[in-house]
Amino acid sequence: MDTIAVAAPPQSPWRTIWFSPRRTIRRIVDAEVRPTWWPVVALSALGQAVAALAFDPDGSLSLSNSFMPVTIGIAQAIFGVLVGPFLLAFVGGWLGGDADPADIRQAVVWGNVPFAVAAVGWIPLALWFKGSLSNPDAEIPLAVVPVMLALGIAAEWSVVTQIVALAEVQRFSVWRAIASVLILMIPMLLLGML
């Protein structure tokens, strides 16, 4: 009796990027058909937009105070995906990296999955508490604090997954990936000081 070997279906990068970023991004970059990344960017931009909303003291949404931060947050998400990979490829080339911007875009976007997931969890909290989450004097129920802590850790975990994914596509060490990101941050920090 002959047996037929059936390949296991590929695992979702939405799950595997959290704890296996190198393997996940290598599988994505080497795939014939890459998974679509726009939902990750859309959720990240939406999360940044909701986090930037400003509320008046009475709890109503202040459109005049929200417009610019929301616009900048969305533009930052889009810029990070469309222009950031070219800059990271350029700087990474100085450090011995050999990835093209399309592969780096995959690393940046899929490394951002923890932030996108945290953004989805943050949206109901931000809308429910209407700006009091950013007020240090606000009274927030104790039951919400662990959820907020978990969402904050997930969002920060994106930095780790993006650095590790960048190192994998550039085919160099994590330290070089950190250095390439820091080199890009220097001009932004200098501009911010002006």
Closest CA to 41 of 16, 75, 9: 75
Specify the pLDDT at position 134: 60
**What are the residue boundaries of the structural domains of the chain, listed by start?**
19-28+35-193
Distance, CA of 70 to chain centre: 17
Rounded to the nearest integer, the mean pLDDT of the chain is 87
Distance, CA of 31 to chain centre: 22
End-to-end CA gap in the chain: 76
Specify the pLDDT at position 65: 85
Question: If you write DSSP's letter for every residue of 68-130 in order, what string do you get?
Answer: HHHHHHHHHHHHHHHTHHHHHHHHHHHTT----HHHHHHHHHHHTHHHHHHHHHHHHHHHHHT
Query: Residue 179: which H helix or E strand, with range?
Result: helix 174-193
Q: How far apart are CA 76 and CA 79, in angstroms?
A: 5
Specify the pLDDT at position 5: 62
**pLDDT tens for residues 122-179?**
888 877 776 665 666 767 777 778 888 998 899 899 999 999 999 999 999 999 999 9
Using only the alpha carbons of the chain, give its radius of gyration. 19
Q: In this structure, what DSSP letter does residue 33 have? A: S
**pLDDT tens for residues 102-114?**
999 999 999 999 9
Residue 4 phi/psi, 5-degree rounding, is -110, 125
Question: What number of other Cβ atoms are within 10 A of residue 12's Cβ?
Answer: 11
